[in-house]
Amino acid sequence: MAIVVLTVAGSTFGFLSNTQSRTSATQSRQDQLRIALDRLAVDLGEANPLVGYTSTQQYRYQVEMQLGPQGGNQQTVQWVLDPPSETLVRQVLSGPGPNATVMSSDPELSGVENFALGKPVFEYFGQGGEDLIEGGATGGEVAQCAVRVRVDLVVSNPGGAAIEEHTNVELENTNPGAMPCG
């Protein structure tokens, strides 16, 4: 009888321990996701302006921006999802555009599953609430006309099912190039 009681107690303890471990892993993963999302939102909120890409598809998994006052000292920052490593990376570049070199690179969040799921990280919206990429905007129009960016992140979770979080960031990007947005 004592062996049965000890076996049941051991099984119950093991189950509770595993449940606690999964809950702790999920909470830790949610914290990592929230920290990366908050840092990204701060950068986007300070974008002045976004830097344009030639292909609108580039916008799905990366965003480049100038931080700092126009006409003053600006820093070029790019957030990019690296599909092979499933890592969201924040890079400081030597300047805007395709010929810039990476000055520093900080992996902000690993286990990002967006690319594998075919789900964009970034969506860009104009003043009328229209999705600029789905609406057929060119690369330059997306950079010039976006007033809001939605960031969606799906990350793996050792404690169970993948975790998905999103945020919407209003931009100070008020058509700095005077490109017609419509």
Element (H, E) at 18: helix 2-45
Structure confidence at residue 168 (pLDDT): 96
Show the DSSP H helices in 46-181 as ranges. Answer: 114-117, 139-145
Structure confidence at residue 27 (pLDDT): 93
Structure confidence at residue 14 (pLDDT): 55
CA angle 99, 104, 110 (to 5 degrees): 110
Structure confidence at residue 66 (pLDDT): 93
Radius of gyration of the chain from its Cα atoms, rounded to whole angstroms: 21
Structure confidence at residue 25 (pLDDT): 84
Q: To the nearest whole number, what is the mean pLDDT of the chain?
A: 87
Structure confidence at residue 159 (pLDDT): 86
Structure confidence at residue 24 (pLDDT): 84
Provide the 3-class DSSP secondary structure of residue 27: helix
Structure confidence at residue 70 (pLDDT): 81
Structure confidence at residue 97 (pLDDT): 86
Q: Are the CB atoms for 179 and 173 separated by under 8 Å?
A: no
Structure confidence at residue 8 (pLDDT): 58
Residues of the chain predicted below pLDDT 70: 1-2, 4-22, 173-180, 182
- Over 145-163, what HEC string results? HCCEEEEEEEECCCCCCCE
